[in-house]
Structure 1
Amino acid sequence: MIVGIDHFVLTVVSLDATCAFYQRVLGFERVDTPGRPTALAFGNQKINVHEISRTFEPKAKSPTPGSGDFCLITDRPLDEFLAGLEANHVMVELGPVERIGAQGPMMSVYFRDPDGNLVEVSQYPR
């Protein structure tokens, strides 16, 4: 049975711009290992980042920058998280709004990364 997500891949225009964004805005750690995709690590998961001109095999049939749409969970209060977005000049596209996640009702905010990928950050009630 599947019990979690280890990683997923984002195809991007600029590896450096994307990594800088996720490091600055979400506190992810950039991991560069020779011969492997660059990764953005957080918790016990990661996002592999493939620059459109330098993808790794095997890959999606039609990797395209800006086609990602995913949800991340925060343990910070959303007001605090929103203040961090504002401090980093990240425009909120929607939220906070109530959504239903894998574990039930949650509050979510939506914004875009440098490639236009839609990032949803959510908090479950405590």
Structure 2
Amino acid sequence: MAMIDHLDHLVVTCVDVEATKRFYTEVMQMRLETFGAGRIAFRFGNQKINVHVRGSEFEPKAHLPVPGALDLCFIASVPLDDVIAHLKARHWPIVEGPVERTGATQKIRSVYVRDPDLNLIEISELMG
């Protein structure tokens, strides 16, 4: 049996917290959550993304927390064509796709966008 079961949360470091909130709540449709001493996170399914603002990160933190260094892939809960329509309605540019890729458990079909800090965000659907 493997020691690790699943990812609980990850941390994104941003420059503009308001732009980050808009992207993850409006474009990615995650739920904004506050916790602790005014900290924020974006919840989706059983996971969340915690937010650090560059220059005022919480301890402990990554050795070199920098905006724009992440490359994340999310599996959509709706068909990818619906994701594409939503991105177009929000006027959020697709960097690449749709393209076929290899996911963690099976083939996926993906589009790529960038968040306000230029992190690469892959949004995918599982292929049958």
Task: Tell me which interval the TM-score lies in, with the shorter structure as reference length.
Answer: over 0.9
Q: Which residue of 1 aligns with 2:60?
A: 58
Distance, in Å, in 1 between the alignment partners of 2:107 and 2:122 is 14
Superposed counterparts of 1:1-126, under 5 Å: 1-35=3-37, 37-126=39-128
Give per-residue Cα distances to partners, 1:14-38, cap 9 Å, x unaligned.
1121011110011111111232631
Unaligned runs of 5+ in 1: none
Contact kept, 8 Å, 2:12 with 2:67, in 1: the verdict is yes
Give per-residue Cα distances to partners, 1:16-64, cap 9 Å, x unaligned.
2101111001111111123263110111100001010220111111111
Letter in 1 for 2:62: A
Which deviates more, 12-21 or 112-121? 12-21
Structure 1 runs (4+) deviating above 4 angstroms are none
Distance, in Å, in 1 between the alignment partners of 2:40 and 2:88 is 27
Contact kept, 8 Å, 2:99 with 2:111, in 1: the verdict is yes
Give percent identity, aligned residues only.
46
Which deviates more, 31-40 or 17-26? 31-40
Distance, in Å, in 2 between the alignment partners of 1:45 and 1:75 is 14
Distance, in Å, in 2 between the alignment partners of 1:73 and 1:89 is 21
Give per-residue Cα distances to partners, 1:62-110, cap 9 Å, x unaligned.
1111111110001211111100001111110111100001111110110
Distance, in Å, in 2 between the alignment partners of 1:95 and 1:14 is 27
C-alpha RMSD over aligned residues: 1.1
Unaligned runs of 5+ in 2: none
* TM-score normalised by the chain length of structure 1: 0.95
